[in-house]
Amino acid sequence: MIKPFKVNISKKIIQNIRSKVKNYEWHEMPNDGGWDYGTNLDYMKKFCKYWVNRYKWKETEKKINSFKNFVCNVDGIDIHFIYEKGSGTKPKPLLLSHGWPGSIIEFLHIIDKLAHPEKFGGNANDGFDVIIPSLPGFGFSGKPKRPIGPRKIASIFNKLITKKLGYKKYIAQGGDFGGTICTWLAYDFPKNLLGIHINILIIRHPDGPQTQEEKDWQENFKKDQRVEDGYRTQQATKPQTLSYAMMDSPVGVAAWIIEKMRGWSDIKHGDIESVFSKEILLSNIMIYLVTKTFNTSSWIYYGRREEGGRSLPKEHLPLKVPTAVAIFPKEYLEWAPRSYVERIYNIKKWTKMNKGGHFAALEQPDLLIKDIQEFSKVI
């Protein structure tokens, strides 16, 4: 049964978070590395001062509740989702999947443009029925009893779209783990997919690189990721140990997430706020805090490892489902040469953007929307 849902976090929870931020005991840290050692101390102090004195969660809550929210039990887990029906005569269903450390916050400001393009100078018949779930263990969705990975989440989302909402076919879009979820949807449920649109390459071909260009890419990728593997290894192997610290420290959660959002994005002059306002950063961070899901959200890395990691089974490759690839230049996970990607996906659209990074929907929403709309017209 699908039930209406409204976000309503108690004042006690908000006050408890605010109190912990206000009373955080700043400790000795090296001050000569800027952001080289991790999240910058001076920035965090300014950020937390804003958090305590100016940020209002209820404004974020109001924005989320301005859309129709629902919850539905799928495979024993309550799945929260935003559902905005589109304009036009036959809007195609569009599933938008976030990843870690993202949330539904990434998509709030593009819902209306995707569902009702005529309000922004576009054509009503380009509208989509937009479905945006919180991943299991994230945000307002229920928490699995133990870690599950993106393949299982893909199965849950397919049931949500086809069994609960009643669509026979739909488009799936995603970055970060959302891109992996899209890929597993195309692999396991090709008959239900009109197409997938991805702005990240996480999945690997089981045969590995074949050409010299592909081999060079793999070697460079490994070198680039050495300084980024720490969080990923921790969350994929011992997530619970990390959670003992994080679940009681809003400042710790904020620093953990801010480091990634700064390091993975197309910022100017090293300034994270050249792309993300404090309001956006805090709204995304607060989703993890008010729902107490830092622990269970990190499980997705453990779940992926249990499911077999990044490689797809060789059977059914390349995938049959039409695929759009959107490459944003500052994506920290460098894209492989097209020859490699074509052995995994059935590419119908390949777009190299001139700006943007990992969090495409937040960084370059109009470029992402345009690319999704164009892809929809060729499938």
Domain ranges of the chain: 2-376
Residue 13: CB atoms within 10 A of its CB come to: 14
Position 229 scores a pLDDT of 82
User: Amino acid letter at 174?
Assistant: G
C-alpha–C-alpha distance, residues 19 and 42, integer Å: 20
**Average pLDDT value for residue range 239-246:** 93
Write the DSSP symbol of residue 160. I
Sheet with 322-327: strands ordered across: 2-5, 69-74, 77-84, 128-133, 92-97, 170-174, 193-198, 322-327, 346-352
Q: Are 136 and 143 in contact (CB under 8 A)?
A: yes
Q: By the 8 A CB rule, do 326 and 199 touch? A: yes
User: Is the sign of the CA dihedral 108, 109, 113, 114 positive or negative?
Assistant: negative
In this model, does residue 54 exceed pLDDT 90? yes
In the chain, the amino acid numbered 83 is Y
For the stretch 248-296, pLDDT in tens is 999 999 999 999 999 999 999 999 999 999 999 999 999 999 999 999 9
**pLDDT at position 227:** 80
- Look up residue 111 and give its amino acid: I
Q: What is the pLDDT of residue 27?
A: 85
Strand-pairing partners, residue 96, are 173
- In terms of DSSP bridges, do strands 128-133 and 193-198 run parallel, antiparallel, or are they unpaired? unpaired
Centroid of chain to Cα 155: 17
C-alpha R_g of the chain = 20
Active site residues: 176, 301, 358
Name the phi and psi angles at 276, rounded to 5. Answer: -115, 130
Q: Please report which residue ranges of 238-359 form alpha helices under DSSP H.
A: 239-246, 250-263, 278-290, 294-307, 338-341
Instruction: Read off the pLDDT band of 47 (50, 70, 90).
Output: very high
Distance CA 227, CA 158 (A): 35
Print burial letters for 100-112: b (CB count within 10 Å at least 16), e (below 16): bbbbbbbbbebbb
Single-letter residue type at 181: I
pLDDT, one tens digit per residue, over 3-32 is 999 999 999 999 999 999 999 999 877 766
d(CA 265, CA 276): 9
Rounded CA separation 243/249 (Å): 10
pTM exceeds cut of 0.95: yes
Topology annotation, domain 2-376: Rossmann fold (3.40.50)
CA–CA dist 72, 82 (Å, integer): 11
For residue 228, what pLDDT is reported?
81
Compute the distance between CA of residue 143 and CA of residue 79 in angstroms, rounded to an integer.
9
Which residues have C-beta within 8 Å of that of residue 70, sequence separation ≥ 6?
Answer: 2, 3, 4, 5, 80, 81, 82, 83
The mean of the pLDDT values for the chain is: 96
What's the rounded Cα separation, in Å, for the pair 138 and 294? 8
